[in-house]
Amino acid sequence: MELTELDALALARAVREQATTATEVARAHLGRAERLSDVVGAFARLTPERALAEAAEVDAAVARGETSAPLLGVPCPIKDLNPVAGVGWEAGSVVLRGNLAEVDDDIVGWFRAAGTVVLGKSATPEFGLPCYTEPEGAPAARTPWDLRRSAGGSSGGAAAAVAAGLAPIAHASDAGGSIRIPASACGLVGLKASRGRISAGRLRVPGPGLGTDGVLSRTVADTAAALDVLSGHGVGETYHAPAPASTFAEAAGREPGRLRIGVLTTPVIAEADVHPACLEAATRIAGTLAGLGHDVGEAAVPFPVERWEAFGALWAVGAASIPLPEAAEPLLRPLTRWLRERGRHTSGVAYAEAVGAVQRLTVEVAQAWDAWDVVLTPTLAQPPALVGELRDDDDPAADFAAQTRFTPWTSVYNLSGRPAVSLPLHTAVVERRELPIGVMFGGRFGAEETLLSLAAQLEDAVGWRHPFVVVDPV
């Protein structure tokens, strides 16, 4: 196989066994990225000199016999919401055009310690706020399955890079679905870890605990290996997740046992139409799970739609809290301005009430779903959206509402702090194009091991493929 078609662990093994070098791996991925990045909107910027220098350091370490790093020589872009020292850091916004990071975010160091090589910064929408990646003055992130369609967001550039073979794995983050949404749109594995599983690091505060870092990958084993790399950092943490019984890599290699799995296809956070392909994906996989010996039943909607408004308040206050000069405000995207204005008009009492509402919802989700080991839903209510389909600059409120209808399950796990993973277990032909349709599995708080074991079982039983073909945009 081509180096750009190997998964992360296979590449690390090849470098470790000296079947190839980290430099050869980096050159292969940089060459493909230089040809295709703008086509799929994957990178905000490539850093070839840095990547080759880091790859040379890996090769020197291998020559010295230092080969224990789990992701040895693996190319891994960093999302442009996170700083990498000396590299442009614009967070998808024109107001930060030309901004250079002075220091590394802690997660950059954790990836580097694991042996990865930074190819560049993956594209993100403005400050990661929408679930599509259409940054001003830059190519939209598109799923390589159909270049008319969005790769999702906010980790859309990361997903486009991995799906198109520009990187085997990519840093991503998820505060409302931003790992799982692009995973579904691009046919990838995307895990949002439990609240407190991965530290926010020293440069960021965890706030209400909606967001977490992670990766997008093409295999369950790669996702598990990355979770082992990222978990357990930091001291004095605000949130804590229970330690795993073993390693996450080991969990992905063992049978899950007989699980109780609840199936829910009714939207939770918004009243939304669900596309037949998304319903079919969930129904088909529920049948597969029953055939594998799991106990499958119907899960309940955990709370009324209107109660989700607490998330909207936290999201808007988060947008308003981004430190920007007043002169930058007119340059922001309409959605960003609308969210910031809404956040500025949220009183301290209203914010406290929203935090309290989220805490109550967390209890209600546990009461509704803890009888199940896993809850299965579609990841999204629709197939990958057309570029521009969700965006509405003339009516940002309608834009935000369209996003909630598109993602009526993902943010439940951010509110409750529970883990969830999107798996590319289904495809459907929509408008004469085969498209990936993600299926999402959520677990009890701290139960990533269960999710990874089940995901690996489904990967073996059902499987998925990655075409590595990008349709000529002409």
Residue 474 has pLDDT above 70, yes or no: no
Q: What is the pLDDT of residue 473?
A: 44
Q: What is the pLDDT of residue 321?
A: 97
Tell me the three state secondary structure of residue 215.
strand
Q: What is the pLDDT of residue 298?
A: 98
Residue 472 maps to a domain = no
User: Mean pLDDT, to the nearest integer, of 405-413?
Assistant: 98
Model confidence pLDDT, tens digit, residues 117-146: 999 999 999 999 999 999 999 999 999 999
The runs of H, that is alpha helices, within 198-291 are: 220-230, 248-251, 276-291
Residues in the chain: 474
Residue 47 to residues 20, 119, 319, 473, Cα–Cα distance (Å):
21, 6, 29, 25
Q: What is the pLDDT of residue 185?
A: 98
Residue 468 maps to a domain = no
Burial of 235 from C-beta contacts in 10 A (0-12 / 13-18 / 19+): exposed
Print the domain residue range for 294.
3-461
C-beta separation of 267 from 274 below 8 A? yes
Q: What is the pLDDT of residue 471?
A: 52
User: Mean pLDDT, to the nearest integer, of 85-93?
Assistant: 98
Query: How many structural domains comprise the chain?
Result: 1
Residue 269 to residues 155, 259, 306, 311, 389, Cα–Cα distance (Å):
21, 26, 8, 10, 20
Please give the order of strands across the beta sheet that includes 120-122: 43-46, 120-122, 78-79
% of the chain at pLDDT higher than 90: 97
Residue 205 maps to a domain = yes
Residue 474 maps to a domain = no
Residue 467 maps to a domain = no
Residue 373, both tokens: 């080991």
Average pLDDT, the chain: 96
Distance between CA 185 and CA 181 in Å, rounded? 6
User: Mean pLDDT, to the nearest integer, of 10-19?
Assistant: 98
Structure-token match 């880091």, residue found: 54
User: Integer distance in angstroms from the first to the last C-alpha of the chain?
Assistant: 28
User: Mean pLDDT, to the nearest integer, of 359-387?
Assistant: 98
Please give the order of strands across the beta sheet that includes 260-263: 169-174, 212-217, 189-192, 420-430, 433-443, 374-378, 260-263, 295-298
Model confidence pLDDT, tens digit, residues 300-347: 999 999 999 999 999 999 999 999 999 999 999 999 999 999 999 999
Residue 4 has pLDDT above 80, yes or no: yes
The runs of H, that is alpha helices, within 97-219 are: 106-113, 156-163, 180-186
Residue 466 maps to a domain = no
% of the chain at pLDDT higher than 70: 99
Residue 286 has pLDDT above 60, yes or no: yes
User: Mean pLDDT, to the nearest integer, of 422-443?
Assistant: 97
Distance between CA 260 and CA 262 in Å, rounded? 7
DSSP class of residue 46 equals: E
Residue 173 maps to a domain = yes
472 pLDDT tier (thresholds 50, 70, 90): very low
pTM: 0.98
Tell me the three state secondary structure of residue 464.
coil
CATH code for position 39? 3.90.1300.10
Residue 471 maps to a domain = no
User: Mean pLDDT, to the nearest integer, of 99-124?
Assistant: 98
Residue 418 has pLDDT above 50, yes or no: yes
Residues recognised as catalytic = 79, 154, 178
